[in-house]
Every structure is written in C-alpha cells, then in structure tokens.
Structure 1
Amino acid sequence: MRAALDDLVARRLADQAAIPAFTCYGADTALAVVSAAEEAGLPVILLVAPSAAEPRLIRTLRSIADAAAVPVCVQLDHAKDAALISMAIEHGVDAVLADGSHLPPDANAAFVREVGAFAATRGVVVEAELGSVPGDEDRAEAVEVSGKTDPAQIRPFLAASGAQLLACGVGNVHGRYRGAPALDWPRLARIRAEAGTVPLVLHGASGLPPSDLRRCGAVGVGKVNVNTELRTAMLETLEAGVGPARASGEDMLALTRAVLDKATGVARTVLETLGG
C-alpha cells in the first residue's frame, strides 16, 4: 500500500527508528526491496534516481507500492530540475528531493519553496538538502568528506523553504568512504536542535557500521538512503553467476533469482538494523 513519506517517517521516529530508502533502477530491484520489507513487516521507500527517472519506471514503482502488504513510498531523489520534478509528480511519485544544495542557501530555499507550492497541490512531500553530500549517487567511487552542513543556517533555511524533511552533510558521502567513515555526531545534534520538528535525512548510508545506523532514529534521523551497498551486492552476484548460467544452458531465471535473492537479503539486513 502506498503511504505519505512524512507520515511514515513520523511513525518510525516515534519508535526511535529510521526508514530506509533504496535506489531502484528497475522493477526487479523494487520487487526485491518490497519483498524484504514484507518479510520484516516494516515500511520502505523506493527511490528513483534522476538518471533513471522516466514515466514508465515511475508508474511501475507506483504499481509495486500499491500492491505491497506494507506501507511503501515512491520518491524522486536528488532532482535539480523543476521540469523533471513536475514530470515525476504527474506520473505518480509520492515525494521528491528538490535538491538545490549546489546553490547558495537563499537560492536553494527559493527552489524548494517553488517546488513545494506545486507539490502541495498534489499531496506530494518535499525533502530538501542543505550543505552538500559529496560523491555521485550512481557511481561507487571513493570520496573525501566535504561540505558539512552549517547548523546556523538551518532555521532560516527551513523557514524560507518550507521543506518537510531535511538532508544534511555530517561526514556522509555518496559512493564509497575513503577510509573509515566518521560521522560528526556533535554537529548532527546541533542540526537536530535547530531543525525543530522537521525530520532529518542521512544520505550515503552504504558503508556505515550497523551501530551508526541503529543510532539514527534516536538522534532524529528518520530516513536513511542506501544505493551503493545494494548495487554492489547485486553486481557481484551477477558477475559470479554468469559463468554457471552459461554452463547450464543460459539459465537466465536462475541467475536473475540469485541476484534478486541477494538484493532482498541486503535490504532485509538494513531494514532490521534500522528497525529499532
């Protein structure tokens, strides 16, 4: 069943837990993620990357969410273009990340506010990002930490933007961490205090230790984004399975099942770790 992002996050935070959001480049990944969520009895978010966003995929993910036995939200991730956001809303996403983090704070807030004015008429929830999270969402390159969010900017930004969730930079990166990850928990605490009732979002969760993930809900992080960890596991399983699949008469069904079973297992572990 489909559900609103802000409602899902509020319910998870009430239990001092966070909800994971998994990037889905196709229906197969979405089915694996939803299967894991149904097994765990927990809600989940299906993310659409801007690089993959097109009407058929959005409608397919929406259909998968509608048929799920647990609450599922479909969100357009890291969208910097108003036209792309408009298209995604027209075709059925439940939430968008209006990403103006590359802009000065005032321009970022204006972009989020513009998106929010349209999104509100369609019941779509708007997430924003303040302070950059380095790296590429679609690639697994090792990245240096940079662009941490300034807590002093939080209140004026939220007041000007009207964002319903806020992604921040506290030592997290997209892709792979160069060296051991070290989240800036004191900075996150200051951001949490300045954000008031607005839930926080942590991008770049792949590679973080389970102890960090378990801590998220207790410190006001209600949503955690996962991409690299899921993608890497699927690609490694695919790579290992191609030879046996060819040897057994090009058994695509067995190969596909192995990849999706791996994805389901990764998603289940993340769900249970964040589950509180």
Structure 2
Amino acid sequence: MRARLDHLVSSALQQGSAVPAFTCYDFTTALAVVSAAEEAGRGAILLVAPKTAASPNGPRLIAALRGLADGAGVPIAVQLDHAADPELILAAVAAGADSVLVDGSSLPYEDNIALVRSVRADLDGRGNADVVIEAELGGLAGDEDRAFGADAAGSAPAAGLTDSGQVEDFVSRTGAQLLAVAVGNVHGKYQGEPRLRWDVLQDIAVRTRIPLVLHGASGIPAEELVKAAAMNVGKVNFNTELRTGVLAVLEERVSAHRADGENLQALLGQWGDAARNFAADALRTLAR
C-alpha cells in the first residue's frame, strides 16, 4: 500500500526505528526491495535519482514504482531524490512521486530556503499539497550515482557539516517535513572509516521535531545506523552498497548465463536476489 513518507517515517521513529530508502534505477531492483519489505513486514522507500527521472523513460519508471507501491502488502513511498529543477519535480510528481528531496544544499543559505519555498508553492498551487518535501541543509561530499571514494565530512573542514544553529530558522521558513543532514556522511564509498559527528547530530536533534534523514549510509556500520535512529534519524538512504552487490553478481554470472543459452531470466533472478538480500539486511538493521 502506498504511504505518505512523513507518516511512514514518524511511525517508525515512535517505535525506535528508521525506514530504509533504496535508490531504484530499474524495476527489477524495486521489485526486490518491495519483496524484502513484505517479507519483513516493514515499510520502505523507493528512491528515483534525478538523472533517472530526467531520462526519456524516467516518468514511466516512476509510474511503475507508484503502481508497485499501490499494490504492496506493506507501506511503500516513492520519492524523487536530490532534485533542484522545479520542472523536473513537477514532472516527477505528475508521474507518481509522492515526495521529493528539494536539494538546494549547494546554494547559499537564503537561496536554499527560497528554492524549497518556491517548490512548495508550485506544488500547492497545482493541487499537490499532499506531496511531502524533504530539504537538505549542509553539503555531502561524493557522487550519488557513482561509487567514487570520498572523505567523510567529519574529517574535512566543518563548512560541509550542517550548521545546527541554522536548523530552527531553516525548518520554520521552508516548511520542510523532513531534513537531510550532513554529519560526516558522504555519497559513494568512504575512504577510510566513516566518522559521524554525533555531537552535531545531537545538537540538530534537539533543535527540531521533524524527522532527520541520513544520506550516504552505505559503509556506515550497522550499530551506528541504529544509534542514529535513536537521535531522530527516521530515514536512511542506501545506494552504493546496493549497486555494488548487484554488479558483483552480474560480473560473476554473465559468462555462465551466456553458456546456458543466454539465460537472461535466470540472470535477472540473481540480480533481484542480490538486491533483495541487501534490502533485507538493511530492514533488519534499522528495525533494531
């Protein structure tokens, strides 16, 4: 069943857990994620990257994910991730996305606020007041779609971290329903051990009641993800490890399936198994 993202996340936080969100570049991965969620009896979030949404078949994929969410046996939300283009956001919502991360984190502070407010006004004016908005404050290193290594922001200059002193003003003025934060997390693979800034996260958590979001969770130890969930992090995004697991299966099995008469169905089944196993592990971790 499709669920409002903010309600799904708030419900998890009330139970002391968080909801995993998985970037789905294709329908096979999305099917696997929903299958794992149904088996676990827990909700999940299907993410669509902005480059995917902007591709010629992006709207069709979003519509397919919306249909998958509608028919799921557990609460599922569909979110456009890291979007800064208002036209892309409106197109994704029209295709079926029910939430969006309006990402103005690379902009000056006031411009970030203005972008989120403008998107909210556009959505409301088009009858989409029920679309949930996540915003981002602070800058995450790395590349969301490619697994290049990046230093954790916790070991980099503090400018990349979320400024906890801005949180109350930012949330109040944007009306964001979730807040993505930079506390040492990065997109892609970590170079060395991730070092989350628990002091910064704790300071943010006491300054706002809305759920917090941790992007770049791939590579962060399970016990730290559980600790973050106890500090008002109600949504945790996964991408890199999911892609890595799927690609490892493809590298290992493509030759075998060619020898087996180019057995694409079997290969897609193993692709789905890899995605489902990763999603199941994430769901178990965040349910602790």
TM-score normalised according to structure 1 size: 0.98
Structure-to-structure mapping, 1:29-178, within 5 angstroms: 29-53=29-53, 54-120=58-124, 121-122=127-128, 123-146=130-153, 147-178=160-191
For 1:238, the aligned partner's letter is L
The answer to whether the 8 Å contact 1:112/1:128 transfers is: yes
The answer to whether the 8 Å contact 1:47/1:75 transfers is: yes
Q: State the alpha-carbon separation in 2 of the partners of residues 228 and 199 from structure 1.
A: 23
For 1:105, the aligned partner's letter is Y
For 2:77, the aligned partner's letter is C
The answer to whether the 8 Å contact 1:40/1:268 transfers is: yes
Q: CA RMSD in A?
A: 0.9
Paired position in structure 1 for 2:260 = 248
Q: State the alpha-carbon separation in 2 of the partners of residues 253 and 58 from structure 1.
A: 23
TM-superposition CA deviations, 1:156-198 (whole Å, max 9, x none): 1111111110001000000001100011111100011112x11
For 1:15, the aligned partner's letter is Q
Q: State the alpha-carbon separation in 1 of the partners of residues 70 and 84 from structure 2.
A: 27
Matched, 1:27 2:27: yes
The answer to whether the 8 Å contact 2:17/2:226 transfers is: yes
Paired position in structure 2 for 1:10 = 10
Shift of 1:29: 0.6
Partner of 1:249, secondary structure, is coil
Q: State the alpha-carbon separation in 2 of the partners of residues 203 and 160 from structure 1.
A: 22
Q: State the alpha-carbon separation in 2 of the partners of residues 264 and 92 from structure 1.
A: 23
Q: State the alpha-carbon separation in 1 of the partners of residues 181 and 207 from structure 2.
A: 12
Q: State the alpha-carbon separation in 2 of the partners of residues 234 and 209 from structure 1.
A: 20
Q: State the alpha-carbon separation in 2 of the partners of residues 49 and 124 from structure 1.
A: 17
Paired position in structure 1 for 2:251 = 239
> Which of 201, 208, 220 does residue 208 from structure 1 map onto?
220
For 2:75, the aligned partner's letter is P
Q: State the alpha-carbon separation in 1 of the partners of residues 122 and 2 from structure 2.
A: 20
Per the alignment, do residues 23 and 151 of structure 1 end up closer, same or farther by CA in structure 2, a change over 3 Å counting?
same
For 1:6, the aligned partner's letter is D
The answer to whether the 8 Å contact 2:18/2:229 transfers is: yes
Partner of 1:194, secondary structure, is coil
Q: State the alpha-carbon separation in 1 of the partners of residues 228 and 276 from structure 2.
A: 22
Shift of 1:216: 2.2
The answer to whether the 8 Å contact 2:82/2:102 transfers is: yes
In structure 2, the gaps of 5 or more residues are 154-159
The answer to whether the 8 Å contact 2:152/2:195 transfers is: no
Shift of 1:63: 0.6
In structure 1, the gaps of 5 or more residues are none
Partner of 1:223, secondary structure, is strand
Shift of 1:248: 1.3
Partner of 1:52, secondary structure, is helix
TM-superposition CA deviations, 1:106-153 (whole Å, max 9, x none): 110111111112334311000000001111110000002331111111
The answer to whether the 8 Å contact 1:119/1:126 transfers is: no
Paired position in structure 2 for 1:183 = 196
Q: State the alpha-carbon separation in 2 of the partners of residues 216 and 39 from structure 1.
A: 24
TM-score normalised according to structure 2 size: 0.94
The answer to whether the 8 Å contact 1:17/1:216 transfers is: no
